[in-house]
Amino acid sequence: MRSTASVLHLDLDAFFAAVEQRDKPSLRGKPVIVGGVGGRGVVATASYEARTYGVRSAMSTREARARCPHAAFLTGRFHAYRETSSQVMAVLKAASPLVEPLSLDEAFVDLAQAGLPDLEVATVVEFGEQLRARVAEVTGGLTGTVGIGSSKFIAKVASELDKPDGLTVVPPGTESELLRPMQVTVIPGVGPATAERLRRAGIRTIAELEAVSEDEIVRLLGKAHGHGLFRLARAEDDRPVVADRETKSVSSEGTYDTDLTDRRLMAGLLARQATHVGERLRKHGLSGRTVSIKVRLHDFTTLSRSSTLASPTDSGATIARVARGLLDDLDTSGGVRLLGVGVSGLADWIQEDLFGESEPEEPEIDLPSPEPSQRAYVPGMDVVHDEMGPGWVWGSGKGVVTVRFETADTPPGPVRSYPVDDPALGPAPRPLED
């Protein structure tokens, strides 16, 4: 355990929604909900203005519309989120050589490697404030909440205490005092099922968990999980900040501006991605046993399927065969926005075929372009008009698309409607994601 508050956790506030508000001036200060816009969609992120109406992540879009019907419901723009995340991670890495990204919008930073004159509370508070200011500067005003403590667990808990746009430092020696009144669900790995098992045993708070013997926790939750919770309930966490994680998977994915509905086209795209994955595996001398696919439907719902092989492979043809088989089990009739192939369970060896046979690599696939669909224009999507310039899709339907013409650097702009096949209007150019 560290004797100093030298682990920092940064969590960007309502990240997806905040990026949308930054880039769409007319939405600033208003409820914004990012996720699936269809009836079966799910909320990915809600702005703080929408949260006041009870909207939260993982809620169905149907319920979110009932709670906050006047919100702007937008599909995600992952290229914008990735670009903004890269800017933030660059700031963190300039501050310390030990940065451990957890997702697009959060990371741990090891302050012991940041070159600070000391690690007293006043010093790390000043550092945290400077870091938050720098993040706001490079991202065009996005805010992040910072927690600083003697471990990853404590820093993560601290970053939840003063949201949004806050900073909390837990002085060394006060960790248990902070944790004891909290619900056990603040502990990583305590999801609904584990929380219910603990509740049935009369354990709701960390103080109640701390009072239970290790043997009893292991009996309730199993050896590995029980030992971990026993330690965390006592604020014992010696996990290091790891800058360069060992590669756990190799993947390739692509996002498409028009929904894919042709199964043959989807299978071909997966095969092409599988070929790229195989090439990357061979380049790094790796192979893997588990092949997975990711499919994001038109309503933002993301599906994944995986299959584990008997032995590791680096063959693009083998990966493609398994990926196509996994796709066969999914209903994609509503349209697909993203496809991806990945290989995990990596090893640095390959089981040679005992019979001297292997699947031939598939030739380069000549794929037709996706046919335009009526869902080519989805709410929130970046577009550009020959005369009006850049804007974003306000809404579409019945052959008409409505656009608000504005950017992050302009005042709120005018709204215009066009036929979906208007040649003067089209998707805005953006970096390739595959």
- Residues 88-112: pLDDT tens digits? 999 999 999 999 998 889 999 999 9
Please state, in angstroms and rounded to a whole number, the distance separating the CA atoms of residues 197 and 174. Answer: 28
Find the mean pLDDT for residues 393-398: 90
Quick: pLDDT tens for 207-223: 999 999 999 999 988 88
Residue 13 clears pLDDT 50, i.e. is over it? yes
Asked whether the predicted pLDDT for residue 257 surpasses 70, the reply is: no
What residues are paired with 396 via a beta bridge? 401
Q: Which pair of tokens denotes residue 353? A: 């075929």
Report the candidate in 345, 392, 401, 346 with the shortest Cα–Cα distance to residue 372: 401
Amino acid at residue number 63 = E
**DSSP 3-state percent helix, strand, coil across the chain (nearest 5):** 35, 25, 40
CA 423/CA 425 separation, integer angstroms? 5
What is the model's pLDDT at position 431? Answer: 58
The domain made up of 11-150 has a fold known as MutS, DNA mismatch repair protein, domain I (3.40.1170)
145-182 pLDDT tens trace: 999 999 999 999 999 999 999 999 999 999 999 999 99
Q: How far apart are CA 346 and CA 249, in angstroms?
A: 7
Residue type, 431: P
Mean pLDDT of the region 55-67? 91
197 — phi, psi (to 5°)?
A: -65, -40
Report d(CA 287, CA 349) in Å as an integer. 6
Q: Return the axis-axis angle of helices 78-95 and 15-23, rounded to nearest 10°.
A: 110
In this structure, the dihedral spanned by the alpha carbons of residues 150, 151, 156 and 160, taken in order and rounded to 10 degrees, is: -20
158 contacts: CB under 8 Å, gap ≥ 6 = 9, 147, 148, 149, 168, 169, 170, 178
pLDDT, tens digit (0-9, with 9 covering 90-100), for 412-430: 999 999 999 999 999 998 6
- What is the pLDDT, as a whole number, of residue 348? 55
CATH of 177-232, one of 1.10.150.20, 1.10.3720.10, 3.20.20.300, 3.20.20.450: 1.10.150.20
Q: What count of other Cβ atoms lies within 10 Å of the Cβ of residue 213?
A: 9
CA distance 49 to 235: 34
Both structure tokens of 90: 């660059």
Question: What is the helix (H) or strand (E) element at residue 217, kind and residue range?
Answer: helix 214-221
Q: Compute the distance between CA of residue 158 and CA of residue 9 in angstroms, rounded to an integer.
A: 8
Q: Is the dihedral of CA 417, 420, 421, 423 positive or negative?
A: positive
Q: Residue 244: its pLDDT value, please?
A: 66
φ and ψ of 404, to 5 deg: -105, 125
pLDDT at residue 350 is higher than 70 = no
On whether the CB atoms of residues 155 and 110 are closer than 8 A, the answer is no
Per the structure block, which two tokens stand in for 144?
């992040």
Question: Which structure tokens are listed for 194?
Answer: 């584990």
The pLDDT value recorded for residue 375 is 45
The domains of the chain are located at 11-150, 177-232, 255-347, 382-427
* For residues 351-368, average pLDDT: 42
Q: In the structure, what pLDDT confidence band is assigned to residue 334 with cuts at 50, 70 and 90? A: confident
The pTM (predicted TM-score) of the whole model is 0.76
pLDDT at 121 over 50: yes
255-268 mean pLDDT: 85
Please tell me the predicted confidence (pLDDT) of residue 268. Answer: 92
pLDDT, average across residues 282-306 = 86
What's the confidence (pLDDT) of residue 360?
Answer: 46
Confidence class for position 11, pLDDT limits 50, 70, 90: very high
**Assigned token pair, 199:** 């509740």
pLDDT 10s digits, 123-152? 999 999 999 999 999 999 999 999 999 999
- CA-nearest of 346, 331, 337 to 291 is 346
Element (H, E) at 251: strand 249-260
Confidence at 247, pLDDT banded by 50, 70, 90: low
pLDDT of residue 7: 97
User: Edge-to-edge, what's the strand order for the sheet holding 249-260?
Assistant: 249-260, 336-347, 287-297, 302-313
Tell the CATH superfamily of the 255-347 domain. Answer: DNA polymerase, Y-family, little finger domain (3.30.1490.100)
- pLDDT category, 246, cuts 50, 70, 90? low
Query: Which pLDDT score, from 0 to 100, does residue 352 have?
Result: 39
Active site residues: 106
Range with lowest mean pLDDT among 108-122, 123-137, 270-284: 270-284
Other CB atoms within 10 Å distance of the CB of residue 387: 8
Mean pLDDT of 34-51: 85
Residues of the chain with pLDDT > 70, as a percent, come to 90
Strands of the sheet with 72-74, listed across from one edge: 43-46, 32-35, 72-74
Q: Look over the chain and give the mean of its residue pLDDT values, rounded to a whole number.
A: 88
Rounded to whole angstroms, the Cα distance separating 338 from 335 reads 10
pLDDT of residue 118: 95
What does the alpha-carbon distance between residue 241 and residue 154 come to, in Å, rounded to a whole number? Answer: 13
Asked whether the beta carbons of 383 and 429 are under 8 A apart, the reply is no
Distance between CA atoms of 282 and 316, rounded to whole angstroms? 10
- Percent of the chain past pLDDT 90, that is, above it, reads 65
pLDDT at 245: 60
DSSP string, 99-131: EEEEETTEEEEEGGGTT-S---HHHHHHHHHHH
